[in-house]
Amino acid sequence: MATHLAAVSLAKGERFEVQTRPTPKPGPDELLIEVKSVALNPADCYMRDQGLFIPTYPTVTGFDISGLVLEIGDNVPVGANDESAGPFFRPEVTRVAAYAASVWKSCDPDYGAFQERCLVPWQHAMPLPDEGITWNQAATLPVAVEVPLNAWDVMGIPREGEATASSSVSAAPVGTDTSGGAQRNNKQKKDILLIWGASSSMGTMGVQSARLLREDPNSSFAAVYATAGAANQKYVASLGADRVFDYNEPQVVDAIVLAARDDGLVIRHCFLATGQLTPCQAVLKAFLGDDERENQKAKIGSAPVIPPDADEVNGVETIFVLPSADEVERLAQFQYWVGTWPREKLANGTIRPSPEPRVVGKGLGAINAGLDVLLRGVSCTKLVVEVAE
């Protein structure tokens, strides 16, 4: 029987131990991936230290993977007799970034990211361009891409290219001026997308995907606003934010509201990538009743879990960003979020992996130390462990 190494979680609160596991065979609609790099996420810390999502031990956790497709199961699209646009997967050929499905498989260890071989539903996998993206960069993509796209969906924002002229108030995108303000070369586009915590991995991809929504001629979005620490503002602006505000400033809410009013725009949608909910609520509350859509709630898509004691603001709905609990619907969602949306954009440079990866070690034994670094706090970087060459 074939075997491989894995960073195994033996009990809640215990550090991972590198052990040998049997290598599984892919079932229908599954890929077996040779893991090259893994990226680390705050949820990985919660799973290791608090047992989040884990019903039984031992198990293997982790979410973000890059690697090579080794084997495919039945029903996986290979492209030979398929006229669709893909994605397609070929053993020993296709390089992928993938979102591990462990949480949706009751934490079955075969589906955890932190090992040399991992099973993944093909809908969770993103074929990579032939060149231009390293294994380490690719590992930063899956969670970072999925969460903001999920946020736009749960807030009811039409997907890029799916808004219609009748559902929009504009026929042309709005550009960015050199002073950081949004040009109003079409005054009918009235909305701003606000990304709070935009220098995080989810936040940076939130800015990039929001930029594309702003450029959609049939969307209602005229500008992208973002918050980030002072040291990261220029980087966030380079990704497509029209205005970037320092969330550490005591009057940041007032500054955002005043800038939007100066631009003649309104803020009714916020993606909270990281940070506090209260200032996001305060920004959106300021614009309630500012336009003709008085019966439409303002919405916050929150990547962090919503605190049970969070204040409710009348007219502002806060939604925790999660994929569907229905498996068929979830796989369709992931096929778009991870498999379809980023593929061509990565190839043509419309989006890029962001922020830059920081390698914290080589080999599965480095994951514990990497999570310890993450717990101490990082800014505008994604921690990566190189599993194999």
**Sequential pLDDT tens for the chain (389 residues):** 899 999 999 999 999 999 999 999 999 999 999 999 999 999 999 999 999 999 999 999 999 999 999 999 999 999 866 566 678 999 999 999 999 999 999 999 999 999 999 999 999 999 999 889 999 999 999 999 999 999 999 999 999 988 876 454 433 333 444 334 454 444 478 999 999 999 999 999 999 999 999 999 999 999 999 999 999 999 999 999 999 999 999 999 999 999 999 999 999 999 999 999 999 999 999 999 866 555 678 999 999 999 999 999 999 999 999 999 999 999 999 999 999 999 999 999 999 999 999 999 999 999 999 999 999 999 999 999 999 98
Q: Which among 100, 106, 74, 126 has a CA at the least distance from the CA of 6?
A: 100
Burial class (CB in 10 A: 0-12, 13-18, 19+), 84: exposed
Q: Is the previous residue joined to 87 through a cis bond, with omega within 30 degrees of 0? A: yes
Distance of alpha carbon 268 from alpha carbon 266, whole angstroms: 6
Domains of the chain: 3-133+325-386 (3.90.180.10), 147-158+187-320 (3.40.50.720)
Enter the pTM of the model.
0.92
**What sign has the CA pseudo-torsion 173, 344, 136, 59?**
positive
Distance of alpha carbon 219 from alpha carbon 164, whole angstroms: 7
Question: Taking the chain, what is the end-to-end CA distance rounded to the nearest angstrom?
Answer: 23
Residues 6+ apart with CB under 8 A from 217: 170, 171, 172, 173
Residues 6+ apart with CB under 8 A from 310: 277, 318
